[in-house]
Amino acid sequence: MQTANANPNVKVTGRHLAITDAINEYAVRKIEGLHLDYPKIIEAHVILGVEKYRHWAEVILICSNHITIEANEETDDLYAAIDAVTDKIARQMRKYKTRLLRRNRPRKEDIRHLEEQILHPEPVEEDEHHVHTVVRTERYPVKPMFIDEAVLQLEMSTRQFLVFMNARNSRVNVLYRRNSGDFGLIEPTLG
């Protein structure tokens, strides 16, 4: 028997849109109606927007065990966008649960371990007065997880990479999407 997530904290935000009580209640009701016993939703953020004739909805679920699931949909009606994005997020949650249940089955590992190399096709000449500066800094929480958990986390998000602490060796790793659809893993080494 499936159970509903026990009243997760749902935040509804509007972009170029005033959130009315009716829209807020509808979005909260749809998120609270996600019937799945795992992963347990801790917090949900629903972002709604309108740009000309496009209505879009994005949902970000923060779940137990450091799981983040994201989905977005765009339609010509705001309520239809909310319906579509909650259906999509429910499918992703079912997919995530199925993969976790199959986790103990033997399978091939599709991650390629690559050594990082920097290739310079031409020598770069810099003038003495030119200094490169850091123009943007991003901070990512580094959570301990196994590689297969990191793969599932990246599959469930729209991000291109994931920085995580490898639970096997306690080192920071970076998992990224390749153009072919596979994943690459960067394992920094000393020396």
* Number of domains observed in the structure of the chain: 2
User: Which pLDDT tens digit goes with each residue over 9-64?
Assistant: 889 999 988 999 999 999 999 988 876 656 678 888 999 999 888 999 999 988 87
pLDDT for 2 equals 42
Burial (CB < 10 A; 0-12, 13-18, 19+), residue 157, is middle
Q: Is residue 132 part of a domain?
A: no
Q: 99, 152 in Cβ contact below 8 A? A: yes
Q: Check pLDDT > 90 for residue 104.
A: no
Q: 82, 110 in Cβ contact below 8 A? A: no
Same domain, 91 and 164: no
Same domain, 91 and 115: no
Burial 121-156 (b: 16+ CB within 10 A, else e): eeeeeeeeeeeeeeeeeeeeeebebebebbbbbbeb
Same domain, 96 and 19: yes
User: Which pLDDT tens digit goes with each residue over 50-98?
Assistant: 988 899 999 998 887 777 888 999 999 999 999 999 999 888 888 877 7
Q: Check pLDDT > 70 for residue 4.
A: no
3-state SS class at 88? helix
Burial 79-111 (b: 16+ CB within 10 A, else e): eebbbbbbebbbebbeebeeebeeeeeeeeeee
Q: CATH no. for residue 162? A: 3.30.505.50
Instruction: Give the pairing type, strands 111-113 and 54-63.
Output: unpaired
CB atoms within 10 A of CB 51: 11
Q: Is residue 3 part of a domain?
A: no
Q: At which of 73, 101, 129 does a domain end?
A: 101
Same domain, 73 and 116: no
Q: CATH no. for residue 94? A: 3.30.160.100
- Whether the full predicted model's pTM is greater than 0.95, yes or no, is no
Same domain, 17 and 69: yes
Q: Is residue 145 part of a domain?
A: yes
Q: 43, 62 in Cβ contact below 8 A? A: yes
Q: Check pLDDT > 60 for residue 179.
A: yes
Same domain, 16 and 94: yes
Domain that holds residue 163: 111-120+138-186
**Alpha carbon of 98 to those of 6, 32, 43, 102, 147: distances in Å?**
21, 21, 22, 6, 17
pLDDT for 122 equals 53
For the chain, what percent of residues have pLDDT higher than 90? 25
Same domain, 97 and 145: no
